[in-house]
A and B are shown apart, each in its own frame.
Chain A
Amino acid sequence: MVKHRLQRNIQYGILVVLGLCFLVPLFWILLASFDTHAQQGIKMPNFTLDNFSAVLGDSGNLRSFGVGIILSGGQATLVVIASVLAAYPLSRYEMRFKKSFLLSILFMTSLPITAVMVPVFQMFLYFKLQNSIFATMLFLTASSLPYGIWMMKSFMDSVPIDLEEAAWIDGASVWGGLRKVVAPLMLPGIATIAIFTFSGSWGNFFVPYILLQTPDKLPASVTIYQFFGSHGLVEYGRLAAFSLLYTMPSVVLYMFSQRYMSKGFSMGGATKG
């Protein structure tokens, strides 16, 4: 028993050390955001909120945050809806080529987005979709669907089929079974995929930058570049303040979905194929 307690304390000790390691890189951004003369090095600032008021006082910044939330939020919603729908038949029915189809789509995500963007832009020009926030959202949706479907299918595999069958016997349709029985059980998974998608595209610079043309349609991931002046002069203080605010939506979303999260990430089901 003594040995056991010692072991536990060692484990707590290791965790504290690891936690600290993950914490220290955040110090700079916290300190610099309160320092109007921030540099790359770390130093104690004369605490001031000037950086924040400068960033928040600019209506362009607020606008870009709004656009970002519409873009990434809309995308996350579409990904969840489309992948729940797609995961259902993939999880519940035997289909030929199912696995190879899923895998090849998944593999395509390893292509760097910078390489894919030029053809996408040409396609957008062809369909006259350039400068459309909605079309950009659809492209972002499609590009995160492979992950979304893959993860969603794994979650769905771990929901027992008996429950739906019971619902069918009670006269529910396939749609009804999915909506009333499966989806509620999968809330953790859905939250997981939503936040995964949201944080992924919230920081995406290249896609909106290439596909959107008018300045007032650009999201925060593009406007963050305003702090890099010409010839490598960086406004570190404001950049840090902006970054801190910029991280907030993901953090809030995470906090909000925390209660679903702990159960949300098992992908053991994926192996049952």
Chain B
Amino acid sequence: MKTNKLKVSMTAAMASLLLLTAACSNGDSGSGAAAEGKEEVTITFRSSGSEDTLTKYFESGLIDKFEEANPDIKINIAPVLASEGDYTSKIVLQMKSPDTAPDIVAEDTSIIKSDAAAGYLEPLDTQVAGWSDWQDKFIENLKAGVTGEDGKIYGVPATSDTRGIWYNKELLAEAGIEVPFQPASWEEVLEAARTIKDKLPGVTPLNMIVGKSSGEGVTMQTLEMLLYGTNDTLYNEETKKWVVNSPGLLDSFNFIHQLFNVDQTGPSMQVALNGQAGSIAFQQLFPQGKLAMAVDGSWAGSTWFENGAAPIENVADKMGFAPFPTQNGQEPGAITMSGGWAWSIPAQAQNKEAAWKFLEFLMNQENATARVVAEGNLSPRNDSVDVAGYTDRTFVAEAQALLDVAHFRPANDEYATVSAQIQSLVESVASGKLAPADAVQQLQDNVTRSLGADKVEVK
């Protein structure tokens, strides 16, 4: 008797457990369901918390304005609070299913080609063809960053950045180097570093990111900044093969070797290999006058603004931002690597038409510029410079000018593998464990092993 009662109650308990699970899941999922007869558009992006500028940007009347003009569309924002790496993992999983896919998603230009190849993203060629701004107002160079391997457009660039040499004007002047600093070749950069080492003991001449723990920054901010200033590239767009051995690669590794091991004008290994090397340089060493130059992104200078992590008074007088020169000063004289975020529409999105409507609104002159001003980034639109306040920001004019010489990473689905190899090789060369020639050889061997001999070529 007792046993039977028990059996019944156990079964009932299990059944209700499963029912409850199913019930709880109903109505929670994804986007797309028409609420109050409106089309819903869910927009997903990476948030950095309650003070997130992008969230504030959406909530400060932008959405209201759009919904007023388009009473049949409702915009939901769904920020993802996570580190940049975790954000990517999350959205690729979300975009797999119509139940979780947002209608608009923020894609890092480093992953957009890969996500396009995976079939997660909707090609936008027809949409941009009918949008006059796309032809006239978007900086031509940046379109490469949102073009898939198949040549189709998979996103609208929303923010951009450039990289160059940040420097302390006072220290350079003290060492007798002409300010504003305008190096015309790699040799002049190295020479400036040597001068600082001689004249200003105790000051680190030039910081470059070389620690594997800094991740992708090593590839993009150090190796590619060098390599794309030689006559070689990392990827041959025509043959679709990786160039794993070239004179340019050897010269790039030689530059790192020269800086860190021969001249010893780089940062100490403790700083260089720290995962927080960038923050240490900008929050501690620069403000304390212990660092003269650093190759870093255009956003980094905002560290010293009034509301930044390490404010410096009259920052425009004390600090400067110089273009990074090509190897021997060959055309176009300077180069930069560019990244940034784009807005894309997932292939599994429910309301693509409404999504595009919002996207066009989001990327008009006024709204596109308002975002980059709020975030301290560069605008992909060439008419942002006409908007009041855009170029008034410190360092923006210098950084913006570099967009004309910007290169993008060949960020297809094999890129992460190649980049991981580059990161550890750069670290090994900088810490003196590997000769530049051996690094190139190892890059060739390792990438060939990972991707196969048909994916690589030697120049």
Contacts and interface: CB of A to CB of B under 8 A. Distances in A.
Complex: A in contact with B (CB within 8 Å): yes
A174 B3 contact: yes
Interface string A92-136: 000000000000000000000000001001100101111111110
B431 interface: no
A176 to B, nearest CB: 8
Nearest to A217: B28
B276 interface: yes
B278 interface: yes
A183 interface: no
A233 B310 CA distance: 10
A125 B48 contact: no
Interface stretch (A14-22, A185-193, A220-228): A220-228
Contacts of A213: 28-30, 78, 94, 100
Nearest to B21: A135
A contacts with B: majority SS: helix
Contact of B25 (A61, A127, A231, A232): A127
B81 A229 contact: no
A229 B300 CA distance: 13
B188 interface: no
A11 interface: no
Contacts of A130: 25, 28-30, 97, 99-100
A55 to B, nearest CB: 10
Contacts of A129: 21, 25
B93 interface: yes
A118 B49 CA distance: 25
B24 A135 contact: yes
A213 B96 CA distance: 14
A214 B78 contact: yes
A271 interface: no
Contacts of A214: 28, 78
B189 to A, nearest CB: 23
B172 to A, nearest CB: 24
A123 B196 CA distance: 60
A230 interface: yes
A196 interface: no
Interface stretch (B33-41, B67-75, B82-90, B416-424): B82-90
A200 interface: no
B299 interface: yes
B278 to A, nearest CB: 6
Contact of B299 (A118, A135, A138, A231): A231
A273 interface: no
Given A118-B93, A125-B96, A135-B21, A225 B81 contact: yes
B6 interface: yes
Contacts of B83: 225, 228
A233 B309 contact: yes
B65 interface: no
A131 B28 contact: yes
A231 B89 CA distance: 18
* Residue of A125, A223, A229 contacting most chain B CB atoms (<10 Å): A125
B48 A60 contact: no
A215 interface: yes
A209 interface: yes
B82 A209 contact: yes
Contacts of B26: 128
Interface string B1-25: 0110010000000000100111011
B441 interface: no
Contacts of A215: 47, 78-81
Nearest to B214: A232
A40 B279 CA distance: 11
B182 interface: no
A60 B50 contact: yes
A173 interface: yes
Contact of B29 (A131, A173, A228, A232): A131
B100 A132 contact: no
B24 A210 contact: no
A132 B283 CA distance: 41
Nearest to A135: B21
B6 A175 contact: yes
B29 A222 contact: no
A162 interface: no
A58 interface: yes
Contacts of A32: none
A218 interface: yes
A138 B3 contact: no
From B20, B24, B30, B52, residue with most partner A Cβ within 10 Å: B24
B394 interface: no
Interface in A213-260: 213-215, 218, 222-223, 225-234
Given A174-B3, A228-B83, A138 B21 contact: yes
A228 B276 CA distance: 12
From A128, A130, A210, A231, residue with most partner B Cβ within 10 Å:
A231
A222 B81 contact: yes
B21 A132 contact: yes
B297 interface: yes
A230 B48 CA distance: 7
26 contacts: A40-B276, A60-B50, A122-B96, A127-B25, A128-B25, A128-B99, A131-B25, A132-B21, A132-B25, A134-B20, A134-B24, A134-B25, A173-B6, A174-B2, A176-B2, A209-B90, A213-B28, A213-B94, A214-B28, A215-B80, A218-B81, A222-B82, A225-B49, A225-B81, A226-B47, A233-B303
Interface of B: 2-3, 6, 17, 20-22, 24-26, 28-30, 47-52, 78-84, 86, 89-90, 93-94, 96-97, 99-100, 275-276, 278-279, 283, 297, 299-300, 303, 309
Given A210-B89, A231-B300, 4 more contacts: A132-B21, A134-B25, A213-B100, A233-B279
**Across the A-B interface, the 9 shortest Cβ-Cβ residue pairs:** A226-B49, A173-B2, A132-B25, A134-B24, A131-B28, A129-B25, A132-B24, A232-B279, A125-B97
